[in-house]
Amino acid sequence: MAIVIVLVLMAVGSVLFHIWTPWWFTEVASNWGAIDELIVFTFAITGFVFVAVVLFTAYAIYKFRYKEDRRADYEPENKKLEFWLTVVTAIGVMALLAPGLAVWADFVTVPEGAEEFEVVGEQWNWTFRFPGADGKLGTADVANITYDNPFGMNADDPNGQDDVLIEDYEVHLPIGSPIKVLLRSKDVLHDFWVPQFRAKMDLVPGLESHFWFTPTREGTFDLLCAELCGVGHYTMRGKVTIESEEAFKAWLAAYPTYAETVPAPSDTGGGAASGQ
C-alpha cells in the first residue's frame, strides 16, 4: 500500500505542480506564441499518458499484490494487446509530431519583404552584419577571414561594399517588422537563442541556417549560446535591443561599412634616396 500511495501522490503532485508552477515561460516578445501553445499541447498529451501509466501501475500493484493462495498467470504473449498498443502508440507519436512540423514549417518559411541581417558566431562572441543602402548582403566565406577581414567578406562582390559590420556584443532591431536571421559559424557549433523570442537555431560550420521572427515588444533581451561550444561557452552572451525604426537607423548609422574598414593600399611610391 505504501508504494500505491506514493505513486498516486506522485501523479497528483505532478499535475498540481504543472498548474501552479512558479517556473513558466518568460513573456513572449515575438510572433512565436505558437511555440508556447505547441509546448502546452505536448505537455497535455505526455502528461495524460504519464498520469495514466502511473495510476495503472498503482492499480496493478494493489490488484495483484502478493497472496499466499494465488499464483501468477503465465502469458508469454498477447497479439491482440500488442496490436492495440502499437496502434495507440503510433497515433500518439503522430499527434505529437504533426503540430510541431506545422510550426517548424512556419518558422523557416520567411515572408515576402522581410528585412534581414546576419549573425556570426565564434568562440566565444557574437558579431553581426546588416545590408547597406542596396538592401543586399554581400557574399562571405570563412576562407576569406584575415585579421583585416574578420567577417570573411568577398572583396569582389559589389553588394558587400556597403554592408554594415557590427563588432559588438549588442545588436539592435526595429520593432513590428518581420526579420530574417541568417546564421553562420566561424569555428564550431553554436546556437542563437533569445528566450523571450521563443527563437533558437544552430550555427553550423560550413552552412548557413536561418529562421525569422517579428519583434512585438520594445526592450533589451539576453542573447545566449544554447550549444556547448567549448570551455568559454558560458561567456558567449550578448544583447538584442528592440526599438523604433528611427532609433534603429540612428544606431546602425554609427557603425562602419565594409568598404570603410578595408585598409588603404600602402604608398609604394619612391622617395628621396640617400647614398653613402
Interval 233-263: pLDDT, tens: 999 999 999 999 999 999 999 999 888 888 7
Percent of the chain topping pLDDT 90: 42
pLDDT of residue 244: 94
Name the CA radius of gyration of the chain, rounded: 28
258: closest CA among 169, 127, 79? 127
What is the CA 136 to chain-centroid distance, rounded?
24
Residue 266 has pLDDT above 60, yes or no: no
* Predicted pLDDT at 174: 95
How far is the CA of 121 from the CAs of 205, 224, 267, 269, in angstroms?
10, 11, 35, 40
pLDDT of 138 higher than 80:
yes
- pLDDT confidence bin for 275, thresholds 50/70/90: very low
What pLDDT, on the 0 to 100 scale, is given for residue 265?
Answer: 62
Q: Which amino acid is at 124?
A: W
Residue 211 has pLDDT above 90, yes or no: yes
Residue 64 has pLDDT above 70, yes or no: yes
Which residues are CB-contacts of 140 (< 8 A; sequence separation ≥ 6)? 118, 129, 151, 152, 153, 154, 160, 184
- Predicted pLDDT at 126: 95
pLDDT band at 131 (very low <50, low <70, confident <90, very high): very high
Look up the pTM and report it: 0.77
Output the pLDDT for position 185. 93
Alpha-carbon gap, residue 74 to 27, rounded angstroms: 55
Q: Is the pLDDT of residue 45 over 50?
A: yes
- Looking at every residue in the chain, the average pLDDT score rounds to 87
CA-CA distance, 121 to 143, in Å (whole number)? 15
Q: What does the pLDDT average to over 71-84?
A: 85
Does the pLDDT value for residue 271 go beyond 90? no
**In Å, how far are 39, 122, 266, 267, 271 from 274, measured between CA atoms?**
78, 49, 21, 19, 9
Quickly list DSSP for 90-118: HHHHHHHHHHHHHHHHHHH-PPTT-EEEE
Mean pLDDT computed over 57-61: 88
pLDDT for 128 equals: 95
Confidence of residue 268 (pLDDT cuts 50, 70, 90): very low
SS3 label, residue 38: helix
Strands (E), the chain: 115-122, 125-130, 164-166, 170-174, 179-185, 190-194, 199-203, 209-213, 219-225, 237-243
Mean pLDDT of 192-214: 92
